[in-house]
Structure 1
Amino acid sequence: MTDPIIRINDLGKTFGSGMRLSLAKQADEVRAVDGCSFEINRGETLALVGESGCGKSTLGRLLLRLIDATAGKVYFENTELTNLPAARMRDMRRHLQMIFQDPYGSLSPRRTIAQIIAEPLDVFGLVRSGRQRRERVADLMTQVGLSPSFMDRHPRQFSGGQRQRIGIARAIAVDPSFIVADEPVSALDVSVQAQIINLMQDLQKQKGFSFLFIAHDLAVVRHIADRVAVMYLGRIVEIGPKKQIYGMPQHPYTQALLSAAPEPDPDRKGKRIILEGDVPSPKRVPSGCSFHTRCPIRQDICGIERPPLREVAPGQLTACHFAKPFPIPRPTASQAVPA
């Protein structure tokens, strides 16, 4: 039985360029997120993958209401966030935090590490004295593998991996229930990436929070995710358990992404799928299936009718007209439950 902590229904975000082609035409619009719907369960990591510019980061910010949606709804537990008054939304942010991609740009160079980590504690009034504040900061630094003796230093005195640990300490300071991690290891060396991923998994086991983990590295996703959602031009084209997405991808775009991922065993490497053309502009999203202009199996219906997400295997949904549902195995006579 699932226990959703985040639900989104038909979520969309359109940005206007502010430039008008003529008096009769509306401003150019960019559909960054277009009708996305899914759930994230309590204690789960849902990885969101796709090419650069497909709308992953925008979707993550919509979930936290760092930007406002132009369509659809976001629910945290049983509370709708999309129309929540500002005062209530401020209180809600204690449960919703973010880890940013850039460990250099996300920390103020003017503040000490203690000031950076303690900021959310101060905002929500969770410490009553300077001594309690420093004790809490020291505990958080220990949890993320940093020495508390460093708390009076500035970000410039730390490496990229250490700075990302500081960002993680700031995110978990208020004991959130849900964290959006926006490509948190993409700017780090490979060896450091593994350390940060392991740290995030250990903290999740200890504290029980849920992740939306945004990434483009499928090797990292394979290590950390419980489920995977694949995004293309602002739309979710496939979503399901990690084992099924990697083992039996049904959408041609998912298949192409996986075929391009590095394979440690050369003997197991399958045929590389080369997609035609470039990603269309989000100002001119193709009609019907947004992927049909590059799809190797496209037919006439693909340019006319937008395929809905439909179940092709238990828990696996795919938006493709030609995805073939996998049969659900029936129990044999020896496995059947007696009446």
Structure 2
Amino acid sequence: MIEPLIRTENLSKTFGEAGSFFLRSKGSSVRAVDGVSFSINRGETVAVVGESGCGKSTMGRLLLRLIDATEGSVFFEGTDINTLSRSEMRQMRRKAQMVFQDPYGSLSPRRSIADIVAEPLEAFGLVRNRREKRERVAELLNQVGLSPSFMDRNPRQFSGGQRQRIGIARAISVDPSFLVADEPVSALDVSVQAQIVNLLQDLQEQKRFTYLFIAHDLAVVRHIADRVMVMYLGRIVEIGNKEQIYSAPQHPYTQALLSAAPEPDPDVKAKRIILEGDVPSPTRVPPGCSFHTRCPLAQDICRAERPALREVTPGQSAACHFARPNPIPA
């Protein structure tokens, strides 16, 4: 079997135990990521979807070890990055980069575009002098659809979409194999979102990038993903290839998310699933299935026993006691 590029085992992150004084004083903690295990193959795009606060961004940062895991492992090319020393981790970062959500806050307003894009190149000693730096920056700007003549300007002179292109140029400057794209289009106008998604796809075709694409817009996910992973309160509740998730979702939460997404075909009258109640506090996750407080199918077993993420159909797994090879009736 081919070794996946990324593999996690029981990956968890708890905040509040040794960090937030407020949480410690209340005797509470937040388990932002709760025992997730999955893999990402080379050249694949796995999208992570779920409501705000479900742990998507935390998981993305754990994969790059921008924050340390509380439990579990992240294997990158077969090596558990949580065991690497600082110097070893520094070398690994050449292979794994991030595109941030906010194109306004992730670029220094006081630096030129050339300095921003070239920062990783200089950090890893990949350019020897100013001429090489400017040549490489010009090449990168061309790759993301910007003119090299922009390199001496500052970020404040650009639109949100242009700033995100600059962020992408910075991320790909060291030729990584893996990119975490943390809601890279959510802060952009709808008219610009498709351009950025198309750019990411073009770059993937050219350079064989592997993506973890974090999003809440299911229309965007449907356009770019190979597989879709659905999270709820820090746990994976369903994962499968794009066709399986969109045509035959197995988990009631996935069904509700899809029913709330706009339908582009006006002739299709999809039934809207309205979830009752609010998302529980992450400091007080319900016992059993964490979704049972809002689930229309919940029964006693859901309140008592946490369902395992199990394969329901080949390539598609769901954490639901009632998941079956056929879709759950609405």
Give the TM-score of the pair, scaled to structure 1. 0.93
AA aligned opposite 2:311: E
AA aligned opposite 1:124: F
AA aligned opposite 2:241: P
Q: Is the 8 A contact 1:11 1:69 kept in 2?
A: yes
Report whether the alignment pairs 1:136 with 2:140. Answer: no
**What's the counterpart of residue 278 of structure 1?**
278
1:146–1:277 CA distance, 2 compared to 1 (3 A): same
After superposition, the C-alpha distances for 1:199-228 in whole angstroms (9 at most, x for unaligned) are 000000000010000000000000000000
**What's the counterpart of residue 63 of structure 1?**
63
AA aligned opposite 1:18: F
**What's the counterpart of residue 18 of structure 1?**
21
**What's the counterpart of residue 249 of structure 2?**
249
**What's the counterpart of residue 301 of structure 2?**
301
- Alpha-carbon distance in structure 2 between the residues aligned to 1:64 and 1:27: 29
**What's the counterpart of residue 28 of structure 2?**
28
CA deviation after TM superposition for structure 1 residue 325, in Å: 2.4
**What's the counterpart of residue 216 of structure 1?**
216
- Alpha-carbon distance in structure 2 between the residues aligned to 1:21 and 1:41: 39
- Length, aligned pairs only: 324
CA deviation after TM superposition for structure 1 residue 18, in Å: 2.5
SS in 2 for 1:65: coil
**What's the counterpart of residue 50 of structure 1?**
50
AA aligned opposite 2:77: E
Q: Within 5 Å, which residues of 2 pair with 1:100-179?
A: 100-179=100-179
SS in 2 for 1:82: helix
- Alpha-carbon distance in structure 1 between the residues aligned to 2:263 and 2:274: 16
Give the TM-score of the pair, scaled to structure 2. 0.96
CA deviation after TM superposition for structure 1 residue 326, in Å: 4.7
AA aligned opposite 2:70: T
Give the stretch that moved more between structures: 91-100 or 79-88: 79-88
AA aligned opposite 1:233: L
Percent identical? 77
AA aligned opposite 1:60: G
After superposition, the C-alpha distances for 1:227-260 in whole angstroms (9 at most, x for unaligned) are 0000000000000000000000000000000000
Give the stretch that moved more between structures: 155-164 or 81-90: 81-90
CA deviation after TM superposition for structure 1 residue 21, in Å: 7.8
CA deviation after TM superposition for structure 1 residue 264, in Å: 1.1
CA deviation after TM superposition for structure 1 residue 268, in Å: 1.3
- Alpha-carbon distance in structure 2 between the residues aligned to 1:312 and 1:186: 32
Give the stretch that moved more between structures: 154-163 or 261-270: 261-270
- Alpha-carbon distance in structure 2 between the residues aligned to 1:125 and 1:33: 35
**What's the counterpart of residue 292 of structure 1?**
292
Q: Within 5 Å, which residues of 2 pair with 1:184-195?
A: 184-195=184-195
- Alpha-carbon distance in structure 1 between the residues aligned to 2:292 and 2:66: 32
AA aligned opposite 1:191: S
SS in 2 for 1:311: strand
Q: Is the 8 A contact 2:248 2:326 kept in 1?
A: no
SS in 2 for 1:135: helix
AA aligned opposite 1:242: K
**What's the counterpart of residue 238 of structure 1?**
238
AA aligned opposite 2:249: P
AA aligned opposite 1:131: R
Unaligned stretches of 5+ residues in structure 1: 328-339
**What's the counterpart of residue 312 of structure 2?**
312
- Which structure would you say has the larger Rg? 1
SS in 2 for 1:27: coil
After superposition, the C-alpha distances for 1:63-86 in whole angstroms (9 at most, x for unaligned) are 000000001100101111112111
SS in 2 for 1:39: strand
Q: Is the 8 A contact 1:18 1:27 kept in 2?
A: no
SS in 1 for 2:289: coil
- Alpha-carbon distance in structure 2 between the residues aligned to 1:21 and 1:152: 47
Q: Is the 8 A contact 1:18 1:28 kept in 2?
A: no
1:2–1:20 CA distance, 2 compared to 1 (3 A): closer
